[in-house]
Amino acid sequence: HSSYSNENKKFKYNERMEFLGDSVLGLVISDHIFKKETGVPEGELTKLRANIVCEGSLSEAAKNIRLGDYILLGRGEEATGGRERKSILADAFEAVIAAIYLDGGIESASKFILSNLSDIIKDSIDGKIFRDYKTQLQEEIQKNGSSNIWYKLLDEDGPDHNKTFIMMVGVEDRELGVGKGKSKKEAEQAAAKAAISNLIDSER
């Protein structure tokens, strides 16, 4: 990890490997779901891939192989729980993918990825995974250098025991999506889901 290499100059950190691993991961998952889900349109494949390769999924896979036990961390990062931090675990998982790819090629990397993400892939395809659209949206927005995401209650309707809430999500001065649900949290998730779809559409 970069926190360790900053304290131990002779060691290189993982960021270049993470870059390569991210690309290999994206290719392998894209190829797998493209061949497996032959009737699914491009937009849905994009969402499915995003759910599989998101930080939460990768960090879970990293925990399953106890990858955190082998990460070299700086003292400060270690003291603040970095070994369990999702972002660090996900990045390390991508770096391992890159190492396997460089050592054994795409076939070896593909075997590692598909075996360690098999349950996540299956549950994502079957729709069994709770999709944390708010976190996914936050990750997408941060990639573009922004972080000021806001949620606004637009309306609520119905009796107290059966209300429907309508929420809007935006970033800075942009409105990104609107969603509704039986609770404010559910409506926020729906709004975030709509925002992700809108962002994907705008990138086409």
**What is the reported pTM?**
0.60
Residue range 133-203 forms a domain whose CATH class is: alpha beta
Catalytic hit among 18, 22, 55, 140: 22
Catalytic hit among 18, 55, 94, 188: 94
The residue count of the chain comes to: 204
Three-state DSSP at 165 gives strand
22 is catalytic: yes
pLDDT digits (tens, 9 = 90+) for 43-67: 888 888 988 999 889 999 999 999 9
Q: What is the CATH number of domain 2-126?
A: 1.10.1520.10
What does R_g of the chain's alpha carbons equal in angstroms? 19
Domain(s) labelled CATH 1.10.1520.10 in the chain stretch across 2-126
CA quadruple 77, 78, 79, 81: dihedral positive or negative?
A: positive
Domain(s) labelled CATH 3.30.160.20 in the chain stretch across 133-203
pLDDT digits (tens, 9 = 90+) for 145-184: 777 899 999 999 988 888 999 999 999 889 999 999 989 9
**Residue 1 binned pLDDT confidence (cut-offs 50, 70, 90):** very low
140 is catalytic: no
Q: Is the pLDDT of residue 11 over 60?
A: no
